Structure 1
Amino acid sequence: MIYHQAKDPDSYQTIFYKQIGLKRRSASLPENDWANDQIGSIYTYGRMDSIQFGIGDYTIPEDFLVEFQYNTEYLHAGIIYEGITYSLVENRMEQSAIPSPFLAIEQARGGINCWKKGQHFKGVEISIETNYLKHKILPYLGASEDSLDFLIKNVRHIHLPKELTDLILQVQSLLESRSMTPALLLALSTSFTALLIRPDFKQFFFTGTDVMSERIFVGKRQILIRPDDYKKIVAAHDLMREKADSFVTIYALSQTLGIGEQKLKAGFQQLYQQTIWDYANQIRMTKAASLLKNTDKTVDEIAKLTGYQSPAAFRTMFKKWSQTTPRKFRSYFSGTE
């Protein structure tokens, strides 16, 4: 397995980008834009020694490890839509992050992160270096340096207040449209911190590793999502990723996992910011595109392999997803019309 060592956060990023095959499209600080048509892209805005926002959508081309031996501490928050990250702990691969919203004060004093061939990652992240947070942002808000001490270091929270999630989505939108500016970077980080230290928000966070219960509104109705429910919702996401082509109904999925249908739908939307059907279709269409590019299978055969009994329904969905027909999509890669 390929092995790298990083001496600081910036070198870690550069090693990672180059290892997965991304090439720098622009390096006009404070923005960095890395991309590869076959691999994907990562776009960041800001600096790792103060504030950095980033979005990524990429696939790991080969197994590798990155060891880091430096001290860092950041307020990290964001949404992981796809991908599971791993760390090497006592010669064992352990999950360190799963698809979900997240927030943590992350303190690292070295370690080894592992990346596996074929993993696909998509997400958005906010990173604020804690010294900058304590000496710049909190004083500006008139708050003391210990205002965030209710967050236990290295405890990853996946239940966030809607206001924080909405702000993360705003960051994502600005990054996707390449509309971020230094003023917006600071303003959004300050707003995020101000929300986080509000006294009424502290109830959302906890001192442990379990997710606390939450009430989600579906119309005017409240649905209570408990820690065990969240585990089943994450299990549903993992099952869909592996078997989206055999997915038939949300009811059947809920029965398989032992969770109510409405609770599963509401909780999935809350965690992953998309519906179960949208996620299933995303997985199916990605598989269909790969089959169209890399095999000679007919469109009807690909429809069945991606879970569609009706080729017409498959063609309609593929055109909605790609803005073109399966036949034309294949022709773009074969060089024929």
Structure 2
Amino acid sequence: MKCKTTVEFQNEVLKNMSFTPYKDTNFILYKNHEKPELGYFIKYSREGYYDFGIGDYTIPHNFTLSFEHSEELMRFGTVYSGETKFRIEDEPVSSFTPSSFFVVEKHLKGNQVWEKGQHFHGAEITIYKKYLEEVINPAFPDTINFQSFLSNYTYHHLPLDIAKIIEVLRSLGEKHTLTPLYLESKLLECLAIIHQELSASPENVFTNQLDYGHIEIGKSRKISLTASDVNAIQRAHDILSEDPCNPPTIKALSKEVFLNEQKLKAGFKARYHMSISQYTTSLKIAMAETLLSTTELSVEEIAKSLGYSHSGNFVKMFKKAHGKTPLAFRKRW
């Protein structure tokens, strides 16, 4: 069977768990009275807008579910125990392990696997696009939207304040004392924290989790780049572009962008396909070409304006790049 909606998918999981729904005032409790050892699932919901689920259960048999839905929704929460393997189409097998998580789903297609004897305990908030469009955005436009995140990408860390809120909600929910008003107030607080995190800086708890690839340092060492690293490398590029004739030393540049020298040099070369010195030299050559073509300045004057103490060094650099001296280049014009 292929589940076409999130609710259908959840219902199929509960069906495989052999759980029966028992409605209360504010929530639905799912369990098997004849097999209490299987545990339970509790669902608080404002139908069509958001859900809050708490699960503490053991899988009774192996099963796999396929899914393909066009919904747009946001899910985040904490897995206290258990690991679920899932595969999104065209992506490698992933899993939720004990940790917090955040994911924005859009046109999701794949499958998920459960194995007999696995135990799960966790709490999760699901926010549907309808809630943002009809409740949040009319009152608070330009605050938060799904476009702020990569679709179908699992972020494995939440802001600490959100993790604390989920723990409070879980505790109240398991005691059956969680009210709809309190739940929605905390859900709004979570959205506010997410918005604050995103708007405070381009380097935040979400962007810093993205995989920007790896760079090689030396012959045997590989390190990953974070969003913060990439932004630092971009700042270094901008600084060098502003004044290539008087570039800072690697040490000074490293301190200015708050990135260690090794990662700065290796990251710059990986991103721009040239070393820092090659980049500044390329800028100087472009400037030299312009001055030679459009002014009557002497080679010595041009060399000095480009930061060379000795014109001979400038001539050597230019000839290496062009295969001819500055004067020979000028004669073309």
Q: Are the aligned partners of 1:135 and 1:145 in contact in 2 as well (CA < 8 Å)?
A: no
Q: How many residues align?
A: 209
Deviation at 1:87, TM superposition (A): 2.2
Q: Which residue of 2 aligns with 1:274?
A: none
Instruction: Select between 86-95 and 10-19 the one with higher mean Cα deviation.
Output: 86-95
Q: Is the CA contact (8 Å cut-off) linking 2:3 and 2:67 kept in structure 1?
A: yes
The match for 2:85 is 86
Distance 1:148 1:69 in 2: 19
Distance 1:38 1:92 in 2: 35
Q: 1:171 aligns with which of 146, 161, 169?
A: 169
Q: 1:150 aligns with which of 141, 148, 151?
A: 148
Q: Is residue 137 of structure 1 aligned with residue 143 of structure 2?
A: no
> Residue 16 of structure 1 corresponds to which residue in structure 2?
13
Report how far residue 195 of structure 1 moved. Answer: 1.1
Could you tell me whether the CA contact under 8 Å between 1:134 and 1:145 is conserved in 2? no
Matches within 5 A, 1:90-129: 94-129=93-128
Partner of 2:23: 27
1:186 correspondence with 2:190: no
RMSD value over aligned CA atoms? 2.9
Q: CA deviation at 1:127?
A: 0.7
Amino acid at match of 2:23: A
Q: CA deviation at 1:90?
A: 7.1
In structure 2, distance between residues paired with 1:85 and 1:47: 26
Counterpart in the other structure of 2:207: 206
In structure 1, give the amino acid aligned to 2:206: F
TM-score by length of 2: 0.56
Structure 1 residue ranges without an equivalent (≥5): 212-225, 229-337
Residue in 1 that maps onto 2:274 = none
Q: Deviations over 1:178-220 (max 9, x none)?
A: 1222212221111111111012376221176449xxxxxxxxx
* Residue pairs, 1:281-300, within 5 angstroms: none
Could you tell me whether the CA contact under 8 Å between 2:143 and 2:195 is conserved in 1? no
Q: Which residue of 1 aligns with 2:330?
A: none
Shift of 1:52: 0.6
Label 1:100 to 1:34 Cα distance change in 2 as closer, same or farther (>3 A): same
Bigger Rg, structure 1 or 2? 2
Give the letter aligned to residue 69 of structure 2.
Y
Tell me the secondary structure at the aligned position of residue 183 of structure 2: helix
1:76 aligns with 2:72: no
The 3 A distance-change label for structure 1 pair 147 and 106 is: closer
What is the match of residue 157 of structure 2?
159
Identity of aligned residues (%): 28
Query: Matched residues in 1 for 2:107 and 2:87: separation?
Result: 14
Q: Equivalents in 2 of 1:58, 1:93: separation in Å?
A: 27
Tell me which amino acid in the other structure corresponds to 1:172.
Answer: R
**Distance in 2 between the 1:20 and 1:39 partners?**
8
- Structure 2 vs 1, CA of residues 93 and 152 (structure 1 numbering), >3 Å: closer, same or farther? closer
Aligned residue for 1:38, secondary structure, equals helix
Question: Which sits farther off after the overlay, 26-35 or 14-23?
Answer: 26-35
- CA distance 1:108–1:58, change in 2 (3 Å): farther
3-state SS of paired residue (2:207): coil
Normalised by the size of structure 1, how large is the TM-score? Answer: 0.55
Q: CA deviation at 1:164?
A: 1.3
Q: Deviation at 1:8?
A: 2.6
User: SS of the residue aligned with 2:51?
Assistant: strand
Letter in 1 for 2:102: L
Instruction: Name structure 2 gaps, 5 residues minimum.
Output: 213-222, 226-333
Q: Which moved more, 1:47-56 or 1:106-115?
A: 106-115
Distance in 1, Cα, partners of 2:170 & 2:201:
22
Q: Cα distance 1:179–1:197, how it changes in 2: closer, same or farther (>3 A)?
A: same
Q: Give the Cα separation in 1 of the matches to 2:24 and 2:182.
A: 17
Q: Which amino acid aligns with 2:175?
A: S
